[in-house]
Every structure is written in C-alpha cells, then in structure tokens.
C-alpha cells in the first residue's frame, strides 16, 4: 500500500537535522522554526514561507511539492515582469510573448516535478547561476561603485547559503557525528539575506530599462556605516551612470 502523500515523512527528501527530537509534531524543529519561519515568511513572496514551514514540519510529499513549486512559480513571476527585454530570445517580440514562454515553461516544469520531486531543489539552485550571469552582464555596463558593492554582498551571502545547503546534503554524516546537523536552517537565513540585496538590484536595473527619465540610486537604512542594513532604491531625475 502506498503511503498517503500527506503523511509525515512521505517526502523524497529528508534533511540532516534529526526528526521529532524536540517536538512530537514538528519533524525538523530548527528547519521549521529558525529557518523557514524566521526568514522565508518575512522575505519570500507568494506563500513560500508558509509552505516551507509546512514541509519541514511534516516532511510530507505534498509539503515538499508545495515548498519547491511555490519558489518555482515565484521565480517565474519575477522573470515575467522584470527580465530585461534586451536579453529576450530573438523569437520573442514583446513582453506578452515572454509571459507565455515563461508560463508554458513553468507549467511543464511543474508537471515534471511530480515525476521526480528530488530533482526540484537542484534545478532551482541552477536558476541562481543564470541570475548571477545576468548580474555580471549588467555590472560590466555599470560604473556605480555602490551597485558593484551591493552585488558583491549579494554574492557573498549566496555563496555562504549554497555552501550550507551542499554541506547539509552531502556531509550529513560528519555534522551528525559532531552533533551539529543544522546547516539547512542556516541556508534559509543566508539565502534570505542574499535576497535582501538581490531585490534592490533587480529594481535598480529595471528602473534603468523601464524608466529612462529617472536615475536609480542605492541606499542603506538606517546608515551605510551600520553592520546590518536594509538596502533600498531612490529615484532621481538626473543623468544615468549605467
């Protein structure tokens, strides 16, 4: 008999943290509370945080799909609205056509996810390399040091995040041996920090292409000198540097 897709621990993925060690109803306590609830609920759009909490709490097959597919669809929406037109494939003539291309691709990817859900996480991480490539292309055309600084900080957080993700996935035996199997919860927080810098960069470049009468400038709240800041974009009517 096949286990219910809603059952606890019916997912294809089980992270390194021990299950039900601190709660009889939460499978991965720190991944649920410290990772998903603390970071994704604050920063990720479209219910991704709620689905991440549900997945790590239950480790269910449905939870795994909801967690990963919510991220996929969030990325698809972001690509649809903010992907620069200059990078459209040659056969795409308008943003509307690009919407259709993104939508069809996302639907196909969603259907394929039901065949082998374990591959979803690797596919989603690969999308990050495309985003890094686009960032590199844009930085080559930009002389604003603040933009380069923000991009560098974004990449730093991403490298730490992906290192934590890979460490949890492939070095689990080592971390369990020293009783420290919490690197996936670090992934949640670190990738959220990377997104905190990624979003203003996307807005910055989008303004550059879609609002040519304005010059975007990057700032940090409450101050540039603070160790922990919230980056933001200011629009001024001036000559562009990028």
In order along its 242 residues, the chain shows pLDDT tens digits of: 556 989 999 998 899 999 999 999 999 999 998 765 565 545 555 677 788 889 999 999 999 999 889 889 989 999 999 999 999 999 998 999 999 999 999 999 898 888 877 777 777 878 889 999 999 999 999 999 999 999 999 999 999 999 999 999 999 999 999 999 999 999 988 988 898 899 999 999 999 999 888 889 999 999 888 877 889 999 987 655 55
The answer to whether the annotation marks 17 as part of a ligand binding site is yes
Is 132 a domain residue? no
The answer to whether the annotation marks 14 as part of a ligand binding site is yes
The answer to whether the annotation marks 148 as part of a ligand binding site is no
Q: Write out the residue range of the structural domain in which residue 152 sits.
A: 142-241
> CA–CA separation, 135 vs 210, rounded Å?
17
Q: Are residues 36 and 93 in the same domain?
A: yes
Is 217 a domain residue? yes
Q: Are residues 152 and 236 in the same domain?
A: yes
The answer to whether the annotation marks 97 as part of a ligand binding site is no
The answer to whether the annotation marks 184 as part of a ligand binding site is yes
Domain count, the chain: 2
Is 216 a domain residue? yes
The answer to whether the annotation marks 136 as part of a ligand binding site is no
Q: Are residues 93 and 35 in the same domain?
A: yes
Q: Are residues 116 and 35 in the same domain?
A: yes
The answer to whether the annotation marks 210 as part of a ligand binding site is no
Tens of pLDDT, residue by residue over 54-63, are: 999 999 999 9
Q: Are residues 191 and 105 in the same domain?
A: no
């Amino acid at each position: 008999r096949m286990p219910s897709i809603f059952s606890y621990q019916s997912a294809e993925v089980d992270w390194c943290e021990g299950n039900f060690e601190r709660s009889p109803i939460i499978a991965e306590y720190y991944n649920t509370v410290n990772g998903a609830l603390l970071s994704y609920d604050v920063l990720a759009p479209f219910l991704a945080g709620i689905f991440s909490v549900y997945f790590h709490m239950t480790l269910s097959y449905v939870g795994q799909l909801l967690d990963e597919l919510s991220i996929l669809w969030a990325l698809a929406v972001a690509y649809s609205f903010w992907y620069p037109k200059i990078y459209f494939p040659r056969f795409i003539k308008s943003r509307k056509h690009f919407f259709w291309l993104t939508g069809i691709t996302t639907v196909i990817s969603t259907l394929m996810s039901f065949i082998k859900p374990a591959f979803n996480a690797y596919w989603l991480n690969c999308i990050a390399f495309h985003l890094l490539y686009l960032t590199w292309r844009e930085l080559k055309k930009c002389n604003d040091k603040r933009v380069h600084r923000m991009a560098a900080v974004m990449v730093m957080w991403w490298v730490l995040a992906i290192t934590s993700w890979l460490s949890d996935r492939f070095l689990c035996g080592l971390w369990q041996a020293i009783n420290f199997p919490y690197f996936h919860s670090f992934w949640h927080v670190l990738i959220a920090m990377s997104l905190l810098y990624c979003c203003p960069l996307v807005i910055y470049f989008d303004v550059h292409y879609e609002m040519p009468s304005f010059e975007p400038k990057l700032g940090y709240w409450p101050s540039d000198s603070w160790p922990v800041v919230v980056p933001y974009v200011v629009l001024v009517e001036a000559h562009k540097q990028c």
